[in-house]
């Protein structure tokens, strides 16, 4: 007879922990709160043998990364063994309320800033082989630029899968986040109560806005074909330097009103004639003459990196103006 619907959440969690085995479960137990561990112990004592097929159904309710290595559950006695071999006597005493609580060790600083400093290839290699959900969680905690660069190190199917999971990602519990933090830290050295869809869409849009337009367009097209929800909301948050030609004249004038001629000149290096004219037409006559004079001469400072930096700055300014309601982006204008 199926156990589906007969097990409590605590019993399902206990089943998975025991099935994971002592090393993995032992590390995970340290991130549960005292009341949660008490509930797990009591739940484990009520469990009987669970067939493999039923255990797989339980695992499916959790994130897919927990499925690997799952096996049969014998009894709640194994939970006692896990606790005894994973926690110190003082920790068990605190857990069961037998003595005074012990002092917790200070946690190490978050690893996310350190990951942001890694080269894209190194960060991609670090995450290689991880479940897409784990990669999505890591990218959601990084700045957009390093996350975007690392995303490009993965093959096309993985990119799409990671972006889809970022779109549907729920708020990550601190314990799960800390677990991933610790695992990544160790590798470098040798549920969610509710869904924040808007934040997920913003994170994905921020990541995509850091990519070159051709790559961005390809990824957006793939996401549209996959039928993932939220893609239209993401598109409304996308804007690249090349999209300036789609802005109306008022929006272009507003955009370039506060930008220096140096930034505009750098961004226009190598730009198409149509794009250049659409920008220069939104700038005062005196500034236009200065920019055209600069563009007529070569510049040693106009490296690809500096040009891209200037273009990203202008695109970022447009996004900021759109966020404040000062201008409408092309997607907003088409929907009007």
* Cβ contacts of 272 within 8 Å, gap of 6 or more: none
Torsion of CA 161, 166, 171, 174, to 10 degrees: 70
**153's tokens:** 């190190």
Distance CA(166)–CA(137), nearest Å, equals: 7
What is the CATH number that goes with domain 9-96?
Answer: 1.10.220
* Tens digit of each residue's pLDDT, the chain (336 residues): 455 557 777 777 777 776 666 566 666 666 666 677 667 666 666 666 666 666 666 666 664 444 343 333 344 445 555 555 555 555 555 544 444 433 333 445 677 788 888 888 888 888 887 888 889 888 988 888 889 999 999 999 899 999 998 888 877 667 677 777 777 877 777 533 334 456 677 778 888 888 888 888 888 888 888 887 788 888 888 888 999 999 999 999 999 998 999 999 999 999 999 999 999 999 999 999 999 999 999 888 889 999 999 999 999 899 888 878 888 888 654 544
Q: What is the pLDDT of residue 335?
A: 44
Q: Give the end-to-end CA distance of the chain in Å, rounded to a whole number.
A: 56
Distance CA(66)–CA(51), nearest Å, equals: 17
Q: What is the pLDDT of residue 106?
A: 42
* Cβ contacts of 106 within 8 Å, gap of 6 or more: none
Q: Give residue limits of the domains in the chain.
A: 9-96, 112-235, 241-335
Give the residue from 325, 282, 318 showing the smallest Cα distance to 209: 318
Half-sphere exposure of 241 (CA within 13 A, CB side): 23
Could you name the CATH architecture of 112-235? Orthogonal Bundle (1.10)
What one-character-per-residue DSSP string does 70-97 give?
---B--THHHHHHHHHHS-HHHHHHHHT
Say if 9-96 and 241-335 have the same CATH topology. yes
Q: What is the pLDDT of residue 261?
A: 93
* Cβ contacts of 1 within 8 Å, gap of 6 or more: none
**49's tokens:** 């043998």
Q: What is the pLDDT of residue 272?
A: 94
* CA angle at 135 for the pair 23 and 71, rounded to the nearest 5°: 35
Q: Write the CA distances from 160 to 96, 137, 220, 238, integer angstroms.
A: 46, 14, 9, 17
For the domain made up of 241-335, the CATH class stated in words is mainly alpha
Q: What is the pLDDT of residue 87?
A: 55
Distance CA(179)–CA(28), nearest Å, equals: 7
Q: What is the pLDDT of residue 100?
A: 40
Distance CA(304)–CA(71), nearest Å, equals: 53
Half-sphere exposure of 261 (CA within 13 A, CB side): 14
Q: Which residues pair with 50 in a beta bridge?
A: 73
């Amino acid at each position: 007879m199926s156990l589906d619907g007969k097990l409590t959440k605590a019993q399902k969690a206990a089943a998975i922990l025991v099935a994971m085995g002592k090393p993995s479960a032992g590390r995970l137990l340290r991130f549960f709160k005292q009341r949660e561990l008490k509930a797990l112990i009591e739940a484990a004592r009520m469990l009987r043998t669970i067939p493999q097929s039923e255990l797989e159904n339980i695992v499916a309710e959790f994130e897919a990364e927990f499925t690997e290595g799952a096996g049969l559950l014998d009894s709640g006695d194994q939970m006692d063994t896990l606790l005894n071999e994973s926690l110190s006597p003082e920790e068990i005493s605190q857990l069961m309320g037998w003595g005074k609580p012990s002092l917790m060790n200070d946690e190490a600083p978050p690893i996310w800033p350190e990951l942001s400093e890694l080269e894209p290839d190194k960060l991609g290699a670090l995450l290689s082989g991880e479940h897409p959900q784990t990669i999505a969680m890591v990218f959601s905690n990084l700045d957009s630029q390093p996350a975007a660069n690392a995303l490009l190190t993965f093959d096309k199917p993985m990119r799409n899968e990671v972006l889809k999971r970022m779109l549907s990602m729920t708020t990550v519990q601190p314990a799960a986040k800390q677990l991933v933090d610790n695992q990544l830290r160790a590798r470098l050295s040798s549920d969610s109560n509710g869904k924040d869809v808007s934040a997920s869409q913003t994170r994905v849009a921020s990541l995509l806005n850091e990519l070159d337009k051709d790559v961005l367009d390809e990824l957006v097209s793939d996401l549209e074909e996959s039928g993932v929800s939220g893609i239209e909301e993401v598109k409304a948050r996308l804007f690249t330097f090349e999209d300036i030609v789609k802005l109306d004249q008022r929006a272009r004038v507003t955009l370039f009103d506060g930008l220096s001629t140096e930034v505009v000149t750098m961004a226009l290096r190598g730009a198409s004639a149509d794009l250049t004219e659409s920008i220069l037409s939104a700038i005062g006559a005196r500034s236009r003459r200065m920019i055209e004079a600069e563009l007529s001469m070569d510049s040693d400072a106009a490296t690809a990196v500096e040009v891209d930096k200037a273009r990203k700055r202008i695109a970022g300014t447009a996004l900021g103006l759109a966020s404040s309601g000062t201008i409408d982006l092309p997607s907003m204008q088409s929907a009007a």
